[in-house]
């Protein structure tokens, strides 16, 4: 039986195992998908164990999407471009990294043609994936809090995409013209905190779409504020399904049964 799974920290909340197992069962494959690491386990130890077990493939989530790269043998064109990986395939003992986050995200967004001005909060692997796969019709601005890693993120965005990373405070002056607002940070994953306040959302363009890549059973505070100010909202679940379907295709060379995957979210 081929073994697939997910690494990240934390991952106990993840819906990927049920979702991927639904697709595996639908395709009648002799495979399993499970969580592959414990909380607090070092990436070096995880990768050593996975290589030894000859795992067939796995997904990668926060905080390993970028730090995993030195542990891989090869990257596909997209992963190399954005320097982030969310899918790994074992090909004859070589671990090859791919990125399906960006394509999965844009495939999940409705009426893309109406979304011209896009604001992304966050500059990590998920944000880079979204930027790297963005349609040519959108104009993207990226904002992040001024943490110790701000200058490093700024240099990366400039080198990879020619984009300037702006302090989060600057977003407030841009909100009235934003068509699509994306939270690509992990804020709200571990708690009920929002990276923006309800008052901030009052400044957002009236018909803007707000997406939080964090997905939970209860709506995040970020989306709660957006709904209170009568904005359209979408959680990270549609993206999760589509990026998972792309990963499934990479691993099994088969089209995933998306309807079965959605049933187990």
4 is in an annotated binding site: no
44 is in an annotated binding site: no
Cα 191 to Cα 87: distance, rounded to the nearest angstrom: 27
197 is in an annotated binding site: no
Catalytic residue of the set 3, 65, 81, 128: 65
Residue entry with tokens 């493939």: 57
User: Would you call 65 a catalytic residue per the annotation?
Assistant: yes
57 is in an annotated binding site: no
The strand order across the sheet containing 31-35 reads 31-35, 2-7, 57-60, 87-91, 94-98, 74-75
61 is in an annotated binding site: yes
Residue entry with tokens 């363009």: 205
Annotate 115-126 with b (16+ C-beta within 10 A) or e (fewer).
Answer: bebbbbbbbbbb
160 is in an annotated binding site: no
> Coil, helix or strand for 169?
helix
114 is in an annotated binding site: no
122 is in an annotated binding site: yes
Cα 243 to Cα 193: distance, rounded to the nearest angstrom: 26
243 is in an annotated binding site: yes
Structure tokens at 176: 């009235």
Burial label, 63 (beta-carbon count in 10 A; 0-12, 13-18, 19+): middle
38 is in an annotated binding site: no
Cα 115 to Cα 55: distance, rounded to the nearest angstrom: 40
104 is in an annotated binding site: no
249 is in an annotated binding site: no
196 is in an annotated binding site: no
Cα 44 to Cα 164: distance, rounded to the nearest angstrom: 32
Reduce the secondary structure of 230-247 to three states and give it as a string. CCEEECCHHHHHHHHHHH
Q: Which residues are annotated as a binding site for shikimate?
A: 14-16, 61, 86, 101, 215, 243
Q: Which residues are annotated as a binding site?
A: 14-16, 61, 86, 101, 122-126, 213, 215, 236, 243
Catalytic residues: 65
Q: Which residues are annotated as a binding site for NADP(+)?
A: 122-126, 213, 236
């Amino acid at each position: 039986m081929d073994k697939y799974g997910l690494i990240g920290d934390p991952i106990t909340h993840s819906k990927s195992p049920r979702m991927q197992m639904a697709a595996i069962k639908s395709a009648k494959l002799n495979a399993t998908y499970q969580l592959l690491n414990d909380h607090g386990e070092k990436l070096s130890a995880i990768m050593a164990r996975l290589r030894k077990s000859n795992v067939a493939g796995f997904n990668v989530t926060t905080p390993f999407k970028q730090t995993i790269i030195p542990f891989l043998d090869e990257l596909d064109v997209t992963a190399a471009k954005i320097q982030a990986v969310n899918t790994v395939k074992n090909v004859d003992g070589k671990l090859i990294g791919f990125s399906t986050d960006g394509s999965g995200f844009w495939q999940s967004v409705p009426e893309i043609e109406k979304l011209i001005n896009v604001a992304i909060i966050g500059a990590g692997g998920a944000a880079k994936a979204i930027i790297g796969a963005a349609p040519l019709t959108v104009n993207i601005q990226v904002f992040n809090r001024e943490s110790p890693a701000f200058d490093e993120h700024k240099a990366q965005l400039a080198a990879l995409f020619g984009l300037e990373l702006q302090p989060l405070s600057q977003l407030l002056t841009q909100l009235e013209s934003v068509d699509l607002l994306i939270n690509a940070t992990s804020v709200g994953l571990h708690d009920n905190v929002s990276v923006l306040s309800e008052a901030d959302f009052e400044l957002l363009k009236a018909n803007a779409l707000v997406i939080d890549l964090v997905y939970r059973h209860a709506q995040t505070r970020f989306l709660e504020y957006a709904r209170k100010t009568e904005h359209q909202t979408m959680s990270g679940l549609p993206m999760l399904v589509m990026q998972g379907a792309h990963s499934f295709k990479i691993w099994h060379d088969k089209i995933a049964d998306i309807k079965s995957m959605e049933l187990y979210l």
